[in-house]
A and B are shown apart, each in its own frame.
Chain A
Amino acid sequence: MHRIELVCPAGSLPALKTAVDHGADCVYLGFKDATNARNFSGLNFDPAQVREGIAYAHARGRKVLLALNTYPQASNWPSWTAAIDRAAEYGVDAVILADPGLMAYAAQNHPQLRLHLSVQGSATSYEAINFYRERFGIQRAVLPRVLSMAQVEQVIANTPVEIEVFGFGGLCVMVEGRCALSAYATGESPNCNGACSPGKHVRWEDTPRGMETRLNGILIDRFADGERAGYPTLCKGRFDVNDETYYALEEPTSLNTLELLPELARIGIRAIKIEGRQRSPAYVAQVTRVWRAALDRLQAAPDAFQVTPAWMAELNKVSEGQSHTLGAYYRPWK
């Protein structure tokens, strides 16, 4: 059995140090611009912070991965290639890319730079993953959150590329990299702008009907007194379909695959990714601590692995909507 790497989110330098201190094998981060899929104000790293973060992680034997996983366009192409150049100069351990053009640039100009295929690349089959391997020599692919366990196993059996899957955190119900819902509602998309349902389009309105959340004027949800009003991520709102009001696409919930760890290890997963660069260092600490403990337990005694109620309680505290799901790993979810 391979040792499974724990890949944790760092939206800031304090979060990076917290992740490293609590047992992350790798941290992933982004620059302060649209070159990554968590382009939120107050988040991400300037050059000095990247250097300090890398030094901190490397001094403790951990890796730093840089997400450059949005799609550059003709007009802004030089900003993305400059970001690749900086990543190589700073000595990150890998870049996480989605755009084939950018991969070609990295492979040509920085052949020593390790390439990971981002979840935003939407590669859901081994044929797609092997395309990126043959063309650019990618060494790892992050799978979209759409495949069942058997399908993930089939992918692993048919590619030499290391496979990383999401273990915990905010859940995209749509195939990542193939979702234009935010672009449709706001003009800004994860693919091109690095943000879904961006904050500048959000309005919270206390009305006689209840607290209303809007995205670019579109009503995403309405909350009764005593209901906790959530952020209006547009696929997690309540809508009317044939006169029935419900979470038509997905509830506000988090993915949590802790109980699947032995199975994920058996089929040969190489890394588990924790979502949440937009979350606080406190979230990073809590989630990293639990997953580190679980992975260590699994490594020590694979056959005796059991999820403890304490772990689940800790994770539920920081889950969106205080609930969790196995997502596509659980057939009825589909």
Chain B
Amino acid sequence: MKLALGPLLYYWPRQSVLDFYADIADSPIDSVYLGETVCSRRHELRLEDWLEVGKVLAAAGKEVVMSSQGLVESESDLKTLRRIVRQCADGEPGFRVEANDMGAVRLLGEAGVRDWVAGPTLNIFNPTTLQMMIDAGATRWAVAPEISGAALAEVRAALAAPIETEVFAYGRLPLAHSARCFTARHFNLQKDTCEFRCLAINDGITLRTREGEPFLTLNGVQTQSARVHNLLGDLAGVQGKAELLRISPQGSHTRAIVELFRAVLAGARTPTAALDDCRPLMVEAPCNGFWHGRAGVEQYVAA
């Protein structure tokens, strides 16, 4: 199994981002997804900067994928999307694209691109829809986190030919997108004049119930789980159902977490021991319910 680093979902200062990917360049990761997928107002790195980061990672032997934005609203969002498709179609620099809405799928088709990643927000829940994406040129399926291991196995079993499959294996779960910015709202600001208050909130802002229980995370227009979805302890059951594991960047310890996954895959560490090693590196308690077909918030241990 290969390891993929998902797109950075938070808004970190430019130098932090550059330092982060410099560190990733010699980490044991196979694929790196780049680009701004959450909010088009974020600008510490422009698309051109992301492509430059991609070139450094590609030179270090990583597969680089440019992720498209999940929620496309404006003509300027479409302009960025077309540019992402064009860099792939023109081979300049020719990074593979992760399509995160059907507009991206249409533009990739129009450009004749036949080797793209069907992203987790495409709402692919059944073999008929997945086959349609494969026919349109998808060569990897990044599964929506809410789909269970059993359900994705059923989808794969029904396909005419297999497709490389990637599951969300580590990180706070991206659960929803909105036109509203909840970080700006927290600071009594409007999105248009948000003062970029999400900058340097490295893991988002934790939302708690009135009993103090961490429940969700505010990350601008995105809402995430407070808990950290972590499949380290479930890797035995993931084998055979997926070829890639996605690790979502975290404010700190991402590299150590990647190395723990690598150690389990190499047989150097047991899943249970690795999960225990991982606990001090996590920003919140673990959960894995989605993988087991249960409420995502649950930490499920098979009896």
Q: Residues of A at under 8 Å CB distance from B?
A: 71-75, 77, 98-102, 104-105, 121-128, 130-132, 134-135, 145-148, 151, 154, 173-175, 177-181, 183-187, 189, 191-192, 216, 218-222, 235, 238-242, 244-245, 248-250, 328, 331-334
A125 and B103 contact, CB distance less than 8 A: yes
B105 and A131 contact, CB distance less than 8 A: yes
Contact with A along B186-224 (1 / 0, CB 8 A): 100011100000000000011111111101101000010
* Cβ 8 A contact of B154, one of A75, A238, A241, A334: A75
Q: Residues of B at under 8 Å CB distance from A?
A: 70-75, 77-78, 81, 101-107, 121, 123, 125-129, 131-132, 144-146, 151, 154-155, 157-158, 173, 175-182, 184-186, 190-192, 205-213, 215-216, 218, 223, 225, 289-290, 293-297
Of the A-B pairs whose beta carbons lie under 8 Å apart in the complex, a sample of 7, sorted by A's number, is A75-B151, A147-B179, A181-B175, A184-B173, A191-B125, A240-B209, A250-B180
A75, A175, A222 interface centre (most CB from chain B within 10 Å): A175
Q: How far is the CA of A180 from the CA of B101 in the complex (A)?
A: 16
Given the known interface contacts A185-B297, A187-B295, A218-B215, the answer about A248 and B207 at a Cβ–Cβ threshold of 8 Å is: yes
Which residues of chain A have C-beta atoms less than 8 A from B151's C-beta? 73-75
B103 and A127 contact, CB distance less than 8 A: yes
Q: How far is the CA of A249 from the CA of B216 in the complex (A)?
A: 11
Which residues of chain A have C-beta atoms less than 8 A from B77's C-beta? 125
B132 and A239 contact, CB distance less than 8 A: no
> A67 CB to closest chain B CB, in angstroms?
16
Q: How far is the CA of A240 from the CA of B206 in the complex (A)?
A: 9
Given the known interface contacts A99-B129, A134-B106, A219-B213, the answer about A178 and B70 at a Cβ–Cβ threshold of 8 Å is: yes
Which residues of chain A have C-beta atoms less than 8 A from B154's C-beta? 73-75
B297 and A240 contact, CB distance less than 8 A: no
Q: How far is the CA of A101 from the CA of B289 in the complex (A)?
A: 27
B213 and A124 contact, CB distance less than 8 A: no
A334 and B179 contact, CB distance less than 8 A: yes
Which residues of chain A have C-beta atoms less than 8 A from B123's C-beta? 71, 98-99, 121-122, 177-178, 191
Looking at chain A's contact residues, the main secondary structure is: mixed
> B270 CB to closest chain A CB, in angstroms?
28
Given the known interface contacts A127-B78, A180-B175, the answer about A99 and B209 at a Cβ–Cβ threshold of 8 Å is: no
> A137 CB to closest chain B CB, in angstroms?
15
* Cβ 8 A contact of B103, one of A71, A98, A128: A128
Q: How far is the CA of A71 from the CA of B147 in the complex (A)?
A: 12
Which residues of chain B have C-beta atoms less than 8 A from A102's C-beta? 128
Q: How far is the CA of A31 from the CA of B71 in the complex (A)?
A: 30
Which residues of chain B have C-beta atoms less than 8 A from A122's C-beta? 101, 121, 123
B289 and A127 contact, CB distance less than 8 A: no
* Cβ 8 A contact of A248, one of B101, B185, B225: B185
Which residues of chain A have C-beta atoms less than 8 A from B126's C-beta? 71-74, 77, 99, 101
Given the known interface contacts A98-B123, A180-B175, A183-B296, the answer about A174 and B207 at a Cβ–Cβ threshold of 8 Å is: no
A241 and B205 contact, CB distance less than 8 A: yes
Given the known interface contacts A125-B77, A241-B205, A334-B180, the answer about A180 and B145 at a Cβ–Cβ threshold of 8 Å is: yes
Which residues of chain A have C-beta atoms less than 8 A from B70's C-beta? 178
B73 and A147 contact, CB distance less than 8 A: yes
Which residues of chain A have C-beta atoms less than 8 A from B218's C-beta? 241, 248
Which residues of chain A have C-beta atoms less than 8 A from B182's C-beta? 248-249
* Cβ 8 A contact of A240, one of B72, B101, B207: B207
> B224 CB to closest chain A CB, in angstroms?
9
16 extra interchain contacts, Cβ-Cβ under 8 A, other than A122-B101, A239-B207, A331-B192?
A: A77-B126, A101-B131, A101-B132, A124-B71, A125-B103, A127-B78, A147-B179, A151-B74, A178-B177, A183-B296, A185-B296, A187-B295, A248-B185, A249-B178, A331-B190, A334-B190
A239 and B215 contact, CB distance less than 8 A: yes
B206, closest chain A residue (CB) = A241
Which residues of chain B have C-beta atoms less than 8 A from A179's C-beta? 175-176
A173, closest chain B residue (CB) = B178
Given the known interface contacts A77-B128, A127-B106, the answer about A245 and B295 at a Cβ–Cβ threshold of 8 Å is: no
A244, closest chain B residue (CB) = B186
> A34 CB to closest chain B CB, in angstroms?
12
* Cβ 8 A contact of A218, one of B184, B213, B293: B213
B125 and A99 contact, CB distance less than 8 A: yes
Q: How far is the CA of A135 from the CA of B158 in the complex (A)?
A: 22
